Structure 1
């Protein structure tokens, strides 16, 4: 399958995990002492391309976000930042999914002999 989908299958999985992290940050915007986390997608996908396992890459390239302005309750979520990053990542997720869908369509046509 790696030959068919290349790095795009891993990219989709990483984007999904990042969406979950960002969604968790947004959901905990009012939770005292919650620390916003994010995945450095570029470093994680490069690590996978170099042969690292996906889980290892996620663990290695996930960190806490440093807020521009600290909240009094210790929460590091800046809602506008998280919402923007979530929207950007969602578009990138959809783009990767569309690419993979196109690859599957090509395979279906090839199997039918079209």
Structure 2
């Protein structure tokens, strides 16, 4: 059962990171005309790998007594990175609206696919439990 919950927890962390990245991309799109705004993004793969690190991963909480609470809730800390502009605007804005929209749509599809995968796993477990 522990392996099962670990896998679902991993997908839950992925959903949290995808939601956080969606917020960052939406902020980039909203600030496309803001002078001096620097486009930001999250290195999703690196942040997820850090969040799923082993028991000795940096920043990982470790229970040293049986009464300690297990860390839950909240999205893993994602470092925001500034994107290098391919064609910076004269006003210093580095948002490439086409790139941001494409990233936004791709991220939304990844989020939806992860939700569907989790739902499918839960349905399979319920079916196995009820014997149907």
- Same fold per superposition (TM over 0.5): yes
- Kindly indicate whether residue 107 of structure 2 is the aligned counterpart of residue 89 of structure 1: yes
More helix as a share of residues: 1
Aligned counterparts of 2:76 and 2:48: Cα–Cα separation in 1 = 11
Instruction: Give structure 2 stretches of 5+ with no counterpart.
Output: 61-74
Structure 1 SS opposite 2:76: helix
Structure 2 SS opposite 1:21: helix
- Radius of gyration: which is bigger? 2
Normalising by the residue count of structure 1, what TM-score does the alignment of the two structures yield? 0.87
- Kindly indicate whether residue 113 of structure 2 is the aligned counterpart of residue 110 of structure 1: no
Greater shift after overlay, 79-88 or 103-112?
103-112
Normalising by the residue count of structure 2, what TM-score does the alignment of the two structures yield? 0.76
Count of aligned residue pairs for this structure pair:
111
Aligned counterparts of 1:2 and 1:21: Cα–Cα separation in 2 = 29
Structure 1 SS opposite 2:81: strand
